[in-house]
Chains A and B, each alone.
Chain A
Amino acid sequence: EVQLVESGGGQVKPGGSLRLSCAASGFTLSNYNMNWVRQAPGKGLEWVSSISSSSSYIYFADSVRGRFTISRDNAKNSLYLQMNSLRAEDTAVYYCARGAFGDYVVTYWGQGTLVTVSS
C-alpha cells in the first residue's frame, strides 16, 4: 500500500524557517517524480514544487522560488521541503504528493502537515 507521511509542520514567526519531510513507503521512491502542493485555510490547491525521480529536474512556483528548496533521498525513501523566509501567506496545509512514472500528475497524496506563519 502506498503511504506518504508528512512531518515537520508547526507554527513559526515571519522570516523563520521550517523543514518538511515526507516518508514514503509501499513503492520504490526512485521510480517516481514527487511534488509538494499546499492549501491555505478555506482556499484551493496551489502547486508548490516538483522534483524528478533522480533530482535532475526541479521546478518551483514563482511564489516560493528563491525561498524554498526541494530535495529527496531515495535511499531513505524521503522527500523534503526546506522553507526559508516564511511569510504569513505561506500558511497552509502542505501535501506530499507522488507523481506518476515519468510524469508529474499526482497519483497519491499524503494527509498533509499544517504550517502556520504568525507572530
Chain B
Amino acid sequence: EIVLTQSPGTLSLSPGERVTLSCRASQSVRSNSLAWYQQKPGQAPRLVIYGASSRATGIPDRFSGSGSGTDFTLTISRLEPEDFAVYYCQQYGSSPFTFGGGTKVEIK
C-alpha cells in the first residue's frame, strides 16, 4: 500500500499569498497518477489537479501541480478568498487508491 504524507497539516495565510502544499509517497506513484482535491466545509470534494500536473475543468490557472515519483506539490500562486479549504492528494495508479491526510489552508 502506498502511504501518502501531506505537509504541513495546517497553513495560516492571507489572501494574495503564494502557497505550496506537499504530498510525499512511500513508494513511486505509477504513471504519476496523483490527484489533488479541494474540500470546503459541508461540501463534497472537487478535483483540482490530475496526472500530477493537469488542471481539471474549470480550475483557474493560479492552481498548478508538479512532481513525479514520490514527491508532488500543489501550488496556488495567489490565494483568493474562495481557496481557503482542505486539500487532499490521492494516488490512483495502484490499488488501494490511497488519500493523504489533508492540508488545511486557513485565513490568517
Contact = CB atoms under 8 A, between A and B. Distances in A.
Interface of A: 35, 37, 44-47, 50, 59-62, 95, 100, 103-112
A100 B50 contact: yes
Interface in B32-64: 33, 35, 37, 39, 44-47, 50-51, 56
Contacts of B44: 95, 109-112
B95 to A, nearest CB: 4
Contacts of A60: 96
B90 interface: yes
A97 to B, nearest CB: 9
Interface residues of B, number: 24
Chief secondary structure at chain A's binding surface:
strand
A45 B50 contact: no
A47 B101 contact: no
Chief secondary structure at chain B's binding surface:
loop
Contacts, number: 59
Contacts of B95: 50, 59
- Of all A-B residue pairs in the complex, the 9 with the closest CB atoms, nearest first, are A109-B44, A59-B95, A104-B92, A45-B99, A47-B97, A44-B102, A105-B50, A105-B35, A105-B92
Interface of B: 1, 33, 35, 37, 39, 44-47, 50-51, 56, 86, 88, 90, 92, 95-102
